[in-house]
Amino acid sequence: MKVAAMDLGTNSFLCLIAEVCGEEVIPVEDHIEIVRLGENVQRTGAFSKGALERAEACLKNFKKQIEQASVEKIAAVATSAARDASNGAELLKIGQNLSIPIDIIEGEKEAEYTFNGVLSGKNKNKEIVVVDIGGGSTEFAYYEKKQIRVTSLNLGCVRHTEKYLDVEKNSAEQLKKFYEIVQEELARIETPKVKEVVAVAGTPTTLACVKRGKPFDPSWAEDSELTVKDLREMEKQFASTSLEERKRILGMEPKRADVILSGTIILRMVTEKFGFRSVRVSTRGVRYGLALAQGGTK
């Protein structure tokens, strides 16, 4: 079955057009746009007019791609920013006008979709904890006692950059405070017995491309590895450079350069929290799990 599955996140909108065959999702097209839907939601509690306009423009573009692909089912989910915004109904209205059904899902459902999405390719190893570092929240999912256990924290690269960090250079005092805040949040989660940490979303994908030292190409990042040493080195680099300098780093997605420091810190501290020296990168996130659900296997 050919389906279209959209992940409307705080920072990025993603649209996967794929064939669902049993428990496998075979991508046909995969589109991503950085919309920054959650811009200033932390401060104002609502979507701005500009953010909604960007969302509408992006969804119109996705709709064109979907119509050309002749899919059988369409589904879209909105996550952290939509959960927080008082005017989330405005996003749903945009979807209705475009005949794109949008559900605002809780963090636990987001984590479940992500976990299933990671397993929708060739790797079926369930002895992992999947970490999804989003713009507004971070989700954790792992398999225990024949079911998926999930946790969601309001810990995100957009949310925490806006609240605690500068997009330019940060002082040692600012970084020290940020480490303490992340550590306090991570103290709330359990450390399951797993064999590997798998990270999804834009932060690990971008970091994998930066490590490679070649122009940004998300397709290359699947199944790549980031060590804690890699993360510390990139963290140091991002903290000591200006926004414009970060944008010019080989492998960097320029529209993510302003929030990459917070995302890197979160990923590094999560990896250490679980007691691992490295993390595996997956480009299969919420949209893959949602595609599976549309195909009727999850």
In a domain, 131, yes or no: yes
Task: Give 82-120 pLDDT, tens digit per residue.
Answer: 998 999 999 999 999 999 999 999 988 998 999 999 998
- Tell me the mean pLDDT in the region 242-268: 95
The answer, yes or no, to whether residue 71 has pLDDT greater than 90, is yes
In a domain, 291, yes or no: no
CB 122 within 8 A of CB 130: no
- Tell me the mean pLDDT in the region 38-56: 92
Regarding whether 147 and 68 lie in a shared domain, the answer is no
Give the domain-ending residue among 68, 88, 105: 105
In a domain, 288, yes or no: no
* Amino acid 170: pLDDT: 86
* Amino acid 219: pLDDT: 83
- Tell me the mean pLDDT in the region 283-296: 91
Task: Give 220-238 pLDDT, tens digit per residue.
Answer: 898 999 999 999 999 999 9
* Amino acid 220: pLDDT: 86
In a domain, 48, yes or no: yes
* Amino acid 177: pLDDT: 94
Number of domains in the chain: 2
Regarding whether 233 and 165 lie in a shared domain, the answer is yes
Regarding whether 189 and 72 lie in a shared domain, the answer is no
In a domain, 296, yes or no: no
Regarding whether 91 and 127 lie in a shared domain, the answer is no
Regarding whether 174 and 36 lie in a shared domain, the answer is no
Determine the Cα–Cα distance for residues 286 and 135; give it in Å rounded to an integer. 14
CA neighbor of 295 nearest in space, from 20, 18, 7, 6: 20
In a domain, 141, yes or no: yes
Regarding whether 263 and 119 lie in a shared domain, the answer is yes
Domain of 129, CATH number, reads 3.30.420.150
Regarding whether 133 and 78 lie in a shared domain, the answer is no
In a domain, 256, yes or no: yes
The answer, yes or no, to whether residue 216 has pLDDT greater than 90, is no
pTM given for the model: 0.86
Interhelix angle 172-186/157-164, nearest 10 degrees: 140
The answer, yes or no, to whether residue 297 has pLDDT greater than 60, is no
Regarding whether 167 and 207 lie in a shared domain, the answer is yes
| Averaged confidence pLDDT in the chain | 92
* Amino acid 22: pLDDT: 85
Residue 53 domain boundaries: 2-105
| CA-to-CA dists, residue 74 to 29, 93, 116, angstroms | 14, 16, 18
* Amino acid 126: pLDDT: 87
Regarding whether 132 and 224 lie in a shared domain, the answer is yes
Regarding whether 268 and 164 lie in a shared domain, the answer is yes
Give the domain-ending residue among 54, 88, 105: 105
Q: Phi and psi dihedrals of 262, rounded to 5? A: -65, -40
Regarding whether 259 and 113 lie in a shared domain, the answer is yes
Regarding whether 253 and 144 lie in a shared domain, the answer is yes
Domain of 36, CATH number, reads 3.30.420.40
In a domain, 287, yes or no: no
